[in-house]
Amino acid sequence: MTCVNFSYGWGMLKKSVTPIVCGALVLVVLAIGGEAAAGAVMEQPTATSQQLRRDVLIDADMWRRRPSMLSGGLGFTGIIGVPNAGDSDLAVAEQAVRDAGGTWLEDMKCAATPTASDHTSASTPGGVAYGYGFPVLNNAGLPVVFSWPVLPSTVSPSDFRITLSNGDEVMPNSAAVFPNYEYDERSTVVLFGLFGNRYPSSDPRSVFPVKVEVVPDDVPLRLVGKEGGTQRGKVVTVSAVGMASHPTTSPYDDPDLPVSERTGPRLVGAKLTRFSRRGEAAPRAFQNDLPNDGRSLYGGHAKFRIRMLTTGGFSPDGVRGVRPTEFGRYFKLIAKTRKGKRVEITKPGRRYLIDGAPLKVLGLADLGRRQSSYDDCYSEDHDNQIDIILSGSRRAISRVKQLIIPAQGRYSPFFNPGGPGNAPTPGVRYSAPSPRIVQNVINGLDDPMSVTYRPWGDTRG
Ligand SMILES: [Ca+2]
Ligand SMILES: [Ca+2]
Ligand SMILES: [Ca+2]
SS3 letters for 276-317?
CCCCCCCCHHHCCCCCCCHHHHHHHHCCEEEEEEECCCCECC
Residue 19: pLDDT above 50?
A: no
E strand or H helix at 51, and its extent? helix 47-51
pTM of the prediction? Answer: 0.91
Answer for the pair 384, 143: CB distance below 8 angstroms, yes or no.
yes
Confidence (pLDDT) at 148: 98
What residues are neighbours of ligand 1 (ion), with CB under 5 Å?
182, 366, 381, 383
C-alpha 220/C-alpha 215 separation (Å) is 7
Answer for the pair 179, 130: CB distance below 8 angstroms, yes or no.
no
* Model pLDDT for residues 371-417, shown as the tens digit of each residue: 999 999 999 999 999 999 999 999 999 999 999 999 999 999 999 99
CA 187–ligand 2 middle distance (angstroms): 13
CA 200–ligand 1 middle distance (angstroms): 31
- For residue 286, the ligand closest to its alpha carbon is 1
* Model pLDDT for residues 410-452, shown as the tens digit of each residue: 999 999 999 999 999 999 999 999 999 999 999 999 999 999 9
| Cα maximum dimension of the chain | 72
- For residue 314, the ligand closest to its alpha carbon is 3
- For residue 179, the ligand closest to its alpha carbon is 1
- For residue 186, the ligand closest to its alpha carbon is 1
Confidence (pLDDT) at 42: 63
CA 269–ligand 3 middle distance (angstroms): 14
CA 365–ligand 1 middle distance (angstroms): 9
What residues are neighbours of ligand 2 (ion), with CB under 5 Å?
182, 280, 292, 366
